[in-house]
Structure 1
Amino acid sequence: MRNITRAFSAGILFATTILAIVYHVYYMGDTHVTKQQYELVIAERNKLADELEKLKKEKKNTTLPRKETYVYTLTIEKGEASRDIAKRLEQARIIDDAQSFLTYLDTHQLTRAVRPGTYIVTSDMSHEQIARQITK
């Protein structure tokens, strides 16, 4: 058994060596770079660096419009349906889509875990954050 393993290992080593030689000869080729090629690469690099600096300056001068954050006091009554809660959150602009919130609750098996109470939620909260808060 040892001789078979040694022969197999030797075969793999031999094949790897041959592949490395072939790769080096055919794909590495002549790696000599002329002075003219070097200067072209450096000029292109400098041009790209200048363009990058220009873009960075433009980015600093532009400001994105701020998204309004809505705050809502959510009161959940005992026995209230999750779809009613989701509709109220959508109407208060806390979530974009009531159905996607319901899907999140269903997927994570939180529909029956919603607890009655009063909660403060904001529009910059994720579905996960809202769900975590109302299921404590």
Structure 2
Amino acid sequence: MRTNLRAFAIGILFATGVMGVAYSIVSAGATTLNEESIQAYAAENDLHVLSKEEYDELLPKVEPVEEIETEPKEEVKEESNSNEEAKEEATEVVEEKEETNEPFEIVIPDGMATYEITALLAREGIIEDDKKFDAYLEDKNIATKVRSGTFTMKKGMSYEEAADVLIK
């Protein structure tokens, strides 16, 4: 075993040496670009070299577009008023529900990962931040104890309250 390992190490060292010599030979013949070589190449190939100022002058001029204000039609105004009224009614209903903060049932299906459960709870408004709740569960070493099923929860629960519901 030792002999094989030594032979392998010697082979690696030899290959590295050969590659180092080859690189130094190839790189010695490489030339660097300078202003004279660029001008010579351009002259040989019938090309023209532009300065930065010449290039900028050739770019198309872009003028800012002014926004044109049009008056909305009265029909649209009437529709928007009815939409605004509907939005206000919906907002009032939501505000009433938030004020009462009644408990509701949430279903967590089998096979959901903990991060998926915390994201669901955050979407429903039960917790504030799913990432912070994930970190809380990890810190308390209870992330693996979260169960699936139907739970009764309410919006704005603390992390401790939500965790107690999910692991019992």
**TM-score relative to the length of structure 2:** 0.38
**TM-score relative to the length of structure 1:** 0.46
| Higher CA-based Rg | 2
Which structure is higher in RCO with an 8 Å CA cutoff and minimum separation 6? 1
